[in-house]
Amino acid sequence: NAGVTQTPKFRVLKTGQSMTLLCAQDMNHEYMYWYRQDPGMGLRLIHYSVGEGTTAKGEVPDGYNVSRLKKQNFLLGLESAAPSQTSVYFCASSYLPDRGNSNQPQHFGDGTRLSIL
Amino acid sequence: AQSVAQPEDQVNVAEGNPLTVKCTYSVSGNPYLFWYVQYPNRGLQFLLKYITGDNLVKGSYGFEAEFNKSQTSFHLKKPSALVSDSALYFCAVRINFNKFYFGSGTKLNVKP
C-alpha cells in the first residue's frame, strides 16, 4: 500500500517552461487536493477535486490548472512557470465524509520541490 | 472569515518536560480540527482530530490535544517530550467538508 505518491520529487525549470506534476493514490479516496508550502505561510490550497471529472479552485489557483480524469490520479499543470511558483507542492487525498465519520483526515504525499529560475 | 492561527513560530523544550503547541481557530458552526506533523523532506502526517464532545483528544505517538470552546483553542500537548518529537507541527480546520485551512506551522525543538 503506497498511499499517496508524487512524481517527480525534484525539478528545476526555466521561466516560461511548462510542466505537469502527478499525484497518485491507491486508497480509493474520493477527495484529492494540491497545496503549495512556502516558508512561514503554512499550506495553501491551489485546487481540489471531490471526484473523478470534477475540479474546483482553492485559495491560490492563478497560474495553475488541474485535471482528474481517473479517480486515483490528480494532475497539476503549470502552463508558463514563473519564479513566484518556486515552492514545495504537496498532494493530499481523503475519504468522502459520511454519516458515520464526518471528520476524515487527509493523507499526504512527500512533496515535489520545484525551482523556477 | 474562517481561519486557524498558530501564534508561536518555534517552541523549545527540554527532553522529558511537557510540551504545548498552541492553536486558535475561527470558524462558524462546529469546528473540525486536526493536528499534523511534518518531518524534514516529508509530507504531513496525521496526528489527531477533534471529536465532538471530547475535550481531550488522544492521538499518535503519545500526543493529545485539549479543545476549549470558550477560548476557541485546540492546543497540542505531550506530557514528556522526546528528542524525536522535533519537527514542524500544523494545526488545521476543515470547512464545508472539502476544504482545509492550515496554520503557519510551529517548529518544535526538543533538546537532550
Position B82: which residue type?
Answer: L
Tell me if chain A has a CB within 8 Å of the CB of B49: yes
Indicate left, alpha or beta for A47 from its phi (over 0: left) and psi (-120 to 50: alpha).
beta
Note the pLDDT of residue B107: 96
Note the pLDDT of residue A104: 78
Q: Which range among A17-21, A56-60, A93-97, B65-69 shows the weakest confidence by mean pLDDT? A: A93-97
Note the pLDDT of residue A97: 67
Mean pLDDT over A6-14 rounds to 97
More confident residue, B17 or B1: B17
Average pLDDT in chain A: 92
Q: What tens digit of pLDDT does each residue of B14-44 get?
A: 999 999 999 999 887 777 899 999 999 899 9
Q: What tens digit of pLDDT does each residue of B60-93 get?
A: 899 999 999 899 999 999 999 999 999 999 999 8
Indicate left, alpha or beta for B84 from its phi (over 0: left) and psi (-120 to 50: alpha).
alpha
Contact B104 A33 (CB under 8 A): no
More confident residue, B94 or B8: B8
Q: Cell numbers of A117, please?
A: 529560475
Tell me if chain A has a CB within 8 Å of the CB of B31: no
Note the pLDDT of residue B53: 78
Q: How would residue A39 be classed by pLDDT, with cut points 50, 70 and 90?
A: confident
Contact A106 B44 (CB under 8 A): yes
Contact B44 A43 (CB under 8 A): yes
Chain A partners within 8 Å of B99 (Cβ): 45, 48, 58
Q: What tens digit of pLDDT does each residue of A41-90 get?
A: 889 999 999 999 999 999 899 999 999 999 999 999 999 999 999 999 99
More confident residue, B63 or B53: B63
Q: Cell numbers of B33, please?
A: 480540527
Tell me if chain A has a CB within 8 Å of the CB of B27: no
Mention every residue, 6+ apart, whose C-beta is less than 8 A from residue B21: B6, B8, B11, B75, B76, B77, B89, B91, B106, B108
Strand partners, B24: B5, B73
Q: How would residue A2 be classed by pLDDT, with cut points 50, 70 and 90?
A: confident
Choose among A55, A53, A58: nearest CA to A43.
Answer: A58
Q: Cell numbers of B97, please?
A: 467538508
Side by side, the strands of the sheet bearing A64-67 are A4-7, A19-25, A73-78, A64-67
Contact B99 A108 (CB under 8 A): no
Evaluate if residue A13 carries a pLDDT over 70.
yes
Q: Cell numbers of A35, please?
A: 497545496
Choose among B88, B76, B84: nearest CA to B40.
Answer: B88
The answer to whether the CB of B28 falls within 8 A of the CB of B2 is yes
Tell me if chain A has a CB within 8 Å of the CB of B25: no
Contact B43 A4 (CB under 8 A): yes
- Collapse the DSSP code of A87 into the 3-class scheme (helix H, G, I; strand E, B; otherwise coil) and give the result: strand
Chain A partners within 8 Å of B102 (Cβ): 35, 42-44
Q: How would residue A102 be classed by pLDDT, with cut points 50, 70 and 90?
A: low
